[in-house]
Amino acid sequence: MTKLKANQHYGQFLASIKERIRKAQYEALKAVNKELIALYWDIGKMIVDRQKKHGWGKAIVENLAEDLQKEFPGMQGFSTRNIWYIRDFFLLYNGNKKLQPLVAEISWTKHLIIMAQCKDDLEREFYIRMTRKFGWTKNVLIHQVEGKTYETTILNQTNFNKTVPEKIRNQAKLAVKDEYTFDFLELGEEHSERELEKAIMSRMDRFLREMGGAVTFVGSQYRLEVGGQEYFVDILLYHRHLRCLIALELKVSAFLPEYVGKMQFYLTALNRQVKAPGENAPIGIIVCKTKNKTVVEYALAEANKPIGVATYKMTTKLPKDLKKELPAPEQVGRLLQEI
């Protein structure tokens, strides 16, 4: 038995079996979730229909909760509060041609977060689609919602329209925020780039969550050699869904146009030396303390490598009027269709 376990072919065989089991488990969970969401949808519809038909008020929910808990004592989800959520869930999405088909794609727990925190259909659509696309866990979703990822993603500044293949363009746009929140770092307002990088490295799990949850860490101070000289990318990540490397440059000052030239150099080197066959071209993100949007626009205008420019902050507070800066709902809707 031990000899067989040491065999290379057996190792590959075992890995394929494990992968098949994980896939079956995932598909089973998805099937269970779809059934649960379908059940809640039907219960919500029946409650609303009876209230309209018979003029029943709050008593229907309270009585239903009591009777269902008696009938199904081992089954969760029939508390008075949850049945109210079920009713609200149906009312919120019923008749919505874009969102109703999506509701079975994420879990009930995640629906509760989105229903409680999001104020309009576009925001709800964004978080439902992003959760489905990138497999956000409950905690990642909470973090993304509290960090205003919807607003800071829709407002991002990139040159992806002309530098990223159309098939992944909108996905790439949604992978870059306009502003990142590093409230998990124990840093004061005054810090060096090296201190910022070290703090990020010490909290890499939280950092990757802030970066969207679909990225893996490749290296810090990632070494590149060009023309006999060494160059170092601050942080190198890999985006699993875009299938490309992401180079991050950290700046504790305001954005300067020359940062774009340096990033283009790094992306060229990564493309020629590091990118694996079949992967998409690397993307660069320059993360600065502050930026002037007009200066960024000018700096990216002639850049021929895919680059986004973002800022970072140490608190979760955002301007109250941020939503006023968002593009027209039609533009946002077209972007979300690609998730």
**CB-based burial, 269-299: b 16+ in 10 Å, e otherwise:** bbbeebbeeeebbbbbbbbbbebeeeebeeb
- SS3 at position 238: strand
CATH (residue range 151-319+326-336): 3.40.1350.10
The mean per-residue pLDDT over the stretch 296-308 comes to: 97
**235: part of which helix (H) or strand (E)?**
strand 229-239
Is residue 111 within a helix (H) or strand (E), and if so which, with residue range? helix 108-117
The two counts, helices (H) then strands (E), for the chain are: 15, 7
Mean per-residue pLDDT for 222-237? Answer: 97
Using the predicted structure, report yes or no on whether residue 316 has a pLDDT greater than 60. Answer: no
Residue 31: what pLDDT? 85
Q: How far apart are CA 228 and CA 51, in angstroms?
A: 77
Structure tokens at 30: 């998805």
Confidence of residue 5 (pLDDT cuts 50, 70, 90): low
Per-residue confidence at 146, pLDDT binned at 50, 70, 90? Answer: confident
| pLDDT for residue 318 is more than 70 | no
Which of the two residues, 250 and 155, has the higher pLDDT score? 250
| pLDDT 10s digits, 201-224 | 999 998 998 898 789 999 999 999
> Rounded to whole angstroms, how far apart are CA atoms 177 and 147?
11
d(CA 274, CA 218): 11
Nearest CA among 199, 231, 202, 236 for reference residue 217: 236
Task: Write out pLDDT tens, residues 262-272.
Answer: 999 999 999 99
pLDDT tens digits, 17-61: 888 888 888 778 778 889 999 999 999 999 999 998 888 888 889
Kindly report the pTM of this predicted structure.
0.70
For residue 158, give the DSSP letter: E
Q: How far is CA 92 from CA 58, 120, 155, 288, in A?
A: 18, 10, 26, 39
pLDDT of residue 23: 81
Per-residue pLDDT tens over the stretch 79-96: 999 999 999 999 999 999
Pairwise CA distance, residues 238 & 245, whole Å: 4
Residue pLDDT, tens place only, 104-142: 999 999 999 999 999 899 999 999 998 988 788 898 899
Residue carrying structure tokens 């440059």: 249
pLDDT of residue 324: 61
The average pLDDT across 178-189 equals: 87
Rounded to the nearest angstrom, the gap between the alpha carbon of residue 186 and the centroid of all alpha carbons in its chain is 24
C-alpha radius of gyration, the chain, whole number? 24
Q: Write down the pLDDT at residue 56.
A: 83
Mean pLDDT for the stretch of residues 313-334:
65
Domain ranges of the chain: 2-147, 151-319+326-336
Summary mean pLDDT of the chain: 89
